[in-house]
Structure 1
Amino acid sequence: MLDNLEFVIILIMTFYDEIVYVLILSSSVASGLLLRSVENSRIKQLLSSSFGLLIVLFLCGWETLHSILSIIGTLCIIKSHNKQTPLLAFIFVFSYLLFFRCSTLFGLPKSSAVGNAVQLLLTLKLISVAIEIHDYRQRKSREKSKDDTPSSRFQLSLQEEPNTYDIICYSYCYVGLFTGPFYKFRTYQDFLDQTVHQSQVIPWKEEILIRFKQISFYAVMYFIATVLFSVDHVRSDAFYESSFLYRLVYMVPIFFLGRMRFYSAWLLAECSFITAAFGAYPKSSNPKPGHGPTVEYDSTEESESIEYSFETIRNINPEGSEWSKTVRDGMRNWNMTVQWWLANYVGKRWPAHLKHFRTAAVLGCSAYWHGIAPGYFGAFLTMPFVMFAEDLLSKLVRQKLNEGNQLQYDWLNWFFKMRSFEYMYMAFALLTWEDTYRWWKSVYFIGHVVCLLVILSCTVVQLLLSKPKRVKKEE
């Protein structure tokens, strides 16, 4: 009996973070079924935000103060009506994120996993709402100068400027509060404005069933793999006494572990949106992950005749992530709403005269957002190097291949895409500079070396092919 109890305790301690997240997400899924029956938008707003804040207070305790200070600081910037509101909000929130990560240097306790997750998602939300409000003010100013001519994209952006209460409620809304997906304030407002009739006719059972089938498979695979493999093994001296091939191949199950864990968590998080009818838009509006509708749609159309899509809150496409042929396409199917945030709030707003550094800036920002551990920067800043090599090789090779050979090349590229992700993910999993450098060194930096050889080879071949032929002199 004691042995069984000890086994249960060990099991709970091993998967403590996973158990906490499963309980949070499961309660969120159940809450959505109740929330969709609430008619009054203000009551729906209060309930959804109160539930989120209560969970944060219960699990994070005093750490909740970090989120409160972040919100207050951002509100002050928004209320100042400064022309540089997006930039100021970006600098403030990301600076506070640095303080949050370095809180132990100021004598504060180390943040919990849940507290870190809340701060991560809140960072995206606060910067986004500041940018949305700034864009709304600019649009209204332009419309006023043109005799109040309404913008053609009015329906796809904010309809009115949110007040302080609205922003606080948006920040603590329980849906996606701990795991994402990220969503704009406009998406949140559309959720509140749904009538009971609309939310009731939006289909959810089939969407949930599809995801539950996937979750059951990925979760089982994750727990099986956890028993067999561990990133802690890579940190041990015994690991480096093994052969080079063993050290290299071990990156395959480590990345498999990470994929199964993220797939399970994100798919379950999507279910909490679906039960609440959060982020559901007509398919005709062509919604995109993170962004929402990209085409005007008639919101007054009879709900029964509409075919709905939850693409706005789609955060992961496991099939696309697994079977896409390139690193670039693989990234587009991974953490999709955050990818949209990075592309639109960093990439598209990056200075034009520094466009050659845009990709590195976006991935560097992503690394910083994930954490300040060197492993994050090692993983994300290796990616532009890999994508550059991949692009050069593809451009060169495809010029000489027929249709059949291109298909073979695609599958060869898929093989190296997976190996590239595995190589980079080892840095993401090991985190510290010592552990990352030790493993990369033990496999002779093979990922970096191969990319460098590909870049040099493609450059030389391209130069030779483009070299003008000498014209023979006529005798």
Structure 2
Amino acid sequence: MSFDDVIYVICLLACIGAGSYARKISDEGQRKLVSTALGIIVVVIVSGLHSLHCFVSLALGTCAVLLVHPSKGHLVTFVVMFGYLVFFRMFDFYLGIPGHTNMIQMLLTLKVSGIAFEKTAAWKRLQARDEQKKNDQRDVNQESLVEITDYDEELQTLSAAEILHYSFNYIGVLTGPYYRYRTYRDYFEMPFKTYAPSVEATLEKLKHAVFYCALYLATNYIWPLDYALTDEFFNDRSFVYRLLYVWPTFFTFRARIYTGLTLSECVCTMAGFGAYPDESDPTNGEGPRKRYQHLKRDAEKHTYNFSTIVNTRVLEVERCWTFREGMKHWNVCVQYWLAVNVYKLFPSKKYRVGRTGATLLCSAYWHGFRPGHYFCIMGAPFYVALEDMWDKLVRKNAIGTNRRIIDVIFWIFKWFAFSYLGEAFLLSSFGKIWRYYSSVYHIGYISWAAMIALGLYLTSQKKAAERRKNRAAEKAAAGDGISAAVEKEKAQ
């Protein structure tokens, strides 16, 4: 592990330990101040002078949230926060910035722009309610007034201090998970944290984190990514070895990510953050999807879960059969942000491809400006399209043993696709990516193109066969109709 990684793990473990103390602070105002102070300390320890980027971007984003009219505030804040990433990464290009500072800045971008989107959505609901109230001639059959909550009103009176507290709360400040301002507010206003099984959930997650960390250290020692950059790798290793090397290196990457994300979730669970009653139907990133405010009256009687702050469903990622399913379970809190604030709000909803492309492009931009981010993320939809095509051709209607065999084949291809595209993400620069892909003769892209061509051909043949079958059935039906008419005339 690098020195930065060691500092990063120590900070996460310290934050986990702080959760036990923070959860027991009875005064909510004091807990908020302590949480923010801890967050700022962590940011400064990890980033040093580079933490100034976080404070400057937060100040600019806060001005956009508070000073721009809510009808345009979300767009202006989005441009300000994502625009600052350009300056931040140019600064990184010339002077170098610790990698974990980059992650802090990325999460800060989502939080500040996310709260602006929440404020605008609440403002629109308030406007719709006011418009309905003005309509004195409203038809009795018309839909009831737009449902407004105290949270919608509160968002319109946000203060700079609240945005500061939300942005630098020590819970999630390093690597997430991303959570809404509503989740943050509930932590200080709802009693759920007191009754949630915080210690039990944390210990269970810590076991997983230790396991993932052990896998990371072992595989990184045996199959280091740096070896894929050496002349020995390209000159002395066979084509098959070079091609298969993407499997262990991407496995190492996954184990590292799983370790960091699981420790980040431990920070949340130890503090009781993101705990909601099962009855509220909480989901990743969003939080409760059902009414839950009334549940605080008998909070001790409910069972709780931490689904809101689960960022990656590790078992589902590993066990699911297809690439599409794997994407749904990976980094789900960030995917929630992208789905709500980019995909659903994309100006043109007519063309799904455009919305999907814009969402993935935003994701790639958020991750960084290096070519590897775009090779990896923008390549995913092409493989998904290929996979969907073959799913309809051979997997959808398969049953029994055939289905199990096909599932395993899809699973193998899924991980090859993840690993092949992920190698570009890891190698990062265009020169390194091109050298590696050339050494394996771009077999991934070539084979996928061939499979798409074959899939299109088989799909067209299948549709042609179905059309012929339908025409034959229509002719047979018409012939039966004529025969029936003849028989009827003879009978008469």
What TM-score does the superposition give when structure 1 sets the normalisation length? 0.91
Q: Which residue of 2 aligns with 1:279?
A: 274
Distance of 1:136 and 1:248 partners within structure 2:
51
Q: Sort the Cα spacing of 1:398 and 1:52 in 2 relative to 1 into closer, same or farther, 3 A.
A: same
SS of equivalent residue, structure 2 residue 59: helix
Distance of 1:384 and 1:158 partners within structure 2:
39
Q: Which residue of 2 aligns with 1:5?
A: none
- Following superposition, the deviation at residue 153 of structure 1 comes to 6.5
Counterpart residue identity of residue 193, structure 2? S
Counterpart of 2:345 (choices 345, 349, 354) is 349
Q: Which residue of 2 aligns with 1:128?
A: 114
- The question of 1:69 aligning with 2:56 is answered yes
Counterpart of 1:56 (choices 24, 43, 67) is 43
Q: Which runs of 5+ in 1 are unaligned?
A: 1-13
Is the 8 Å Cα contact of residues 156 and 296 (structure 1) preserved in structure 2?
A: no
Distance of 2:405 and 2:153 partners within structure 1:
47
Distance of 1:396 and 1:153 partners within structure 2:
47
Q: Which residue of 2 aligns with 1:422?
A: 419
Q: Which residue of 1 aligns with 2:103?
A: 117
Is the 8 Å Cα contact of residues 70 and 119 (structure 2) preserved in structure 1?
A: no
Distance of 1:308 and 1:114 partners within structure 2:
31
The percentage of counterpart residues that share the same residue type is 32
- The question of 1:246 aligning with 2:241 is answered yes
Q: Sort the Cα spacing of 1:158 and 1:249 in 2 relative to 1 into closer, same or farther, 3 A.
A: farther
Q: Deviations over 1:42-99 (max 9, x none)?
A: 2111111111112222332322221122122222222221522222221221111011
- The question of 1:190 aligning with 2:176 is answered no
Counterpart residue identity of residue 179, structure 1? T
Is the 8 Å Cα contact of residues 77 and 85 (structure 1) preserved in structure 2?
A: yes
Q: Which residue of 2 aligns with 1:210?
A: 204
- Following superposition, the deviation at residue 230 of structure 1 comes to 1.1
- The question of 1:262 aligning with 2:257 is answered yes
Q: Deviations over 1:366-389 (max 9, x none)?
A: 111111110111111110111000
- Following superposition, the deviation at residue 151 of structure 1 comes to 4.4
Counterpart residue identity of residue 181, structure 1? P
- Following superposition, the deviation at residue 361 of structure 1 comes to 2.1
RMSD of the alignment, in Å?
A: 2.1
Distance of 2:402 and 2:424 partners within structure 1:
34
Is the 8 Å Cα contact of residues 73 and 92 (structure 1) preserved in structure 2?
A: yes
Q: Sort the Cα spacing of 1:182 and 1:400 in 2 relative to 1 into closer, same or farther, 3 A.
A: closer
- Following superposition, the deviation at residue 212 of structure 1 comes to 1.6
Pairwise mapping of residues 72-91 of structure 1 onto structure 2 (< 5 A)? Answer: 72-78=59-65, 79-91=67-79
Aligned length: 457
Q: Which residue of 2 aligns with 1:9?
A: none
Distance of 2:279 and 2:405 partners within structure 1:
36
Counterpart residue identity of residue 196, structure 2? I
Counterpart residue identity of residue 227, structure 1? Y
Counterpart residue identity of residue 322, structure 1? E
- Following superposition, the deviation at residue 179 of structure 1 comes to 0.7
Counterpart of 2:81 (choices 88, 93, 99) is 93
SS of equivalent residue, structure 1 residue 302: helix
Counterpart residue identity of residue 222, structure 1? Y
Counterpart residue identity of residue 363, structure 2? S
More helix by share: 2
SS of equivalent residue, structure 1 residue 39: coil
The more displaced of 24-33 and 353-362 is 353-362
Q: Which residue of 2 aligns with 1:22?
A: 9
Pairwise mapping of residues 15-414 of structure 1 onto structure 2 (< 5 A)? Answer: 15-78=2-65, 79-103=67-91, 109-147=95-133, 151-152=146-147, 154=149, 159-161=154-156, 162-195=158-191, 198-241=192-235, 242-297=237-292, 298-350=294-346, 351-398=348-395, 400-414=397-411
SS of equivalent residue, structure 1 residue 146: helix
Q: Deviations over 1:95-131 (max 9, x none)?
A: 11011001157xx632222321210110110110010
Is the 8 Å Cα contact of residues 156 and 294 (structure 1) preserved in structure 2?
A: no
Is the 8 Å Cα contact of residues 123 and 152 (structure 2) preserved in structure 1?
A: no
Is the 8 Å Cα contact of residues 315 and 337 (structure 1) preserved in structure 2?
A: yes
Distance of 1:463 and 1:167 partners within structure 2:
55
Is the 8 Å Cα contact of residues 155 and 296 (structure 1) preserved in structure 2?
A: no
Distance of 1:63 and 1:156 partners within structure 2:
34
Distance of 1:250 and 1:123 partners within structure 2:
35
Is the 8 Å Cα contact of residues 132 and 158 (structure 1) preserved in structure 2?
A: no
What TM-score does the superposition give when structure 2 sets the normalisation length? 0.88
The more displaced of 15-24 and 264-273 is 15-24
Distance of 1:18 and 1:60 partners within structure 2:
13
Distance of 1:319 and 1:81 partners within structure 2:
44
- The question of 1:447 aligning with 2:434 is answered no
Distance of 2:28 and 2:131 partners within structure 1:
33
Distance of 2:377 and 2:403 partners within structure 1:
28
Counterpart residue identity of residue 401, structure 1? A
Q: Sort the Cα spacing of 1:404 and 1:117 in 2 relative to 1 into closer, same or farther, 3 A.
A: same
Distance of 1:248 and 1:179 partners within structure 2:
31
- Following superposition, the deviation at residue 152 of structure 1 comes to 3.6
The more displaced of 310-319 and 392-401 is 392-401
Q: Deviations over 1:242-295 (max 9, x none)?
A: 110010111111011101111111111101001111111111111111100011
Distance of 2:391 and 2:408 partners within structure 1:
12
Is the 8 Å Cα contact of residues 132 and 145 (structure 2) preserved in structure 1?
A: no
Distance of 2:132 and 2:354 partners within structure 1:
37
Distance of 1:385 and 1:193 partners within structure 2:
45
The more displaced of 150-159 and 259-268 is 150-159
Distance of 2:147 and 2:406 partners within structure 1:
44
Counterpart residue identity of residue 169, structure 1? H
Q: Greater CA radius of gyration, 1 or 2? A: 2
Distance of 1:129 and 1:160 partners within structure 2:
8
Is the 8 Å Cα contact of residues 239 and 440 (structure 2) preserved in structure 1?
A: yes
Distance of 1:464 and 1:153 partners within structure 2:
54
